[in-house]
Amino acid sequence: MTLDLTFLGTGNAFAPTRYWSSFLLGDRCLFDAPPTLLAHLKKLGKDPRDIEVAFISHFHGDHFFGLPFLLLEYAELAPRTKDLTIVGPPGIAARLRALTDLAFANVFRKDRGYDLHFVEAGDGAEGEAAGCRFVSRQVPHVPGLQSFAYRVETGHGSVAYSGDTMMCDALVSIADGTDVFVVECSCWGEQCGPHLSPKDILALRARITPSTRFVLTHIGAGEAPRAIVDAGILIADDFEHLEFTVDSE
């Protein structure tokens, strides 16, 4: 079996040389929704209606502001009939309603032709959507804003996603034993603000199952330290498609 990941962008909020970070697991599971989401789905020939569940890590604009454009697409150009589930921090339904109403009045309507479901993430909360089992863990990012990491189990394997975070034990619990860990690394220096640094990534690599493949995203400008490359850690590129062979046993 294989796990298919498609990166719609791999840059941090400042995106000096990359687009904002987001990726697909297969075509059904979306992780974060930057403003470039819809354009990049179309650039890669992806049908936005194939997305059945979106996991939103937190409410910063580079991770969340693409959802109104997705709902606009469904309302005006590509009507959908399959249900859509959006998993995100507490308040996700009200926050998306307000953002969408501000951007495109009347898009967030009841007669949309499909059911829109919301699931609020929580520390250790579990759920199921679009045939995927998931668990969320709260991680530290910036004061006053809840941020979540996710672990998603599909029939083809398991993926963990860090969201935006600083170093914490929750990252080990969410990623340990997964097939792939998509993890942010927002700079190549030692001080990355409320984010993970290369030193943090190497520390996580030492604590998490050796068979778990690390893929870095949410990246800034510059070149990765040699230690990252030597550790076999992958650095995703915009629009890159990665396939990982997964042991079926």
**E strands, 20-108, in order:** 22-25, 29-31, 53-55, 84-88
Residue the block writes with tokens 């969201």: 163
Single out the residue of 71, 148, 56 nearest to residue 103, CA to CA: 71
Catalytic entry in 4, 50, 62, 200: 62
DSSP 219: B
Look up 111 and say whether it is catalytic. no
Distance CA 137, CA 161 (A): 10
Distance CA 183, CA 181 (A): 6
Please, which residues have CB within 8 angstroms of residue 195's CB and are 6 or more apart in sequence?
12, 141, 164, 165, 166, 184, 185, 186, 187, 218
Contact between 48 and 41 under an 8 Å Cβ cutoff? The reply is yes
Single out the residue of 228, 120, 233 nearest to residue 175, CA to CA: 233
Q: Among all residues, which ones are annotated catalytic?
A: 62
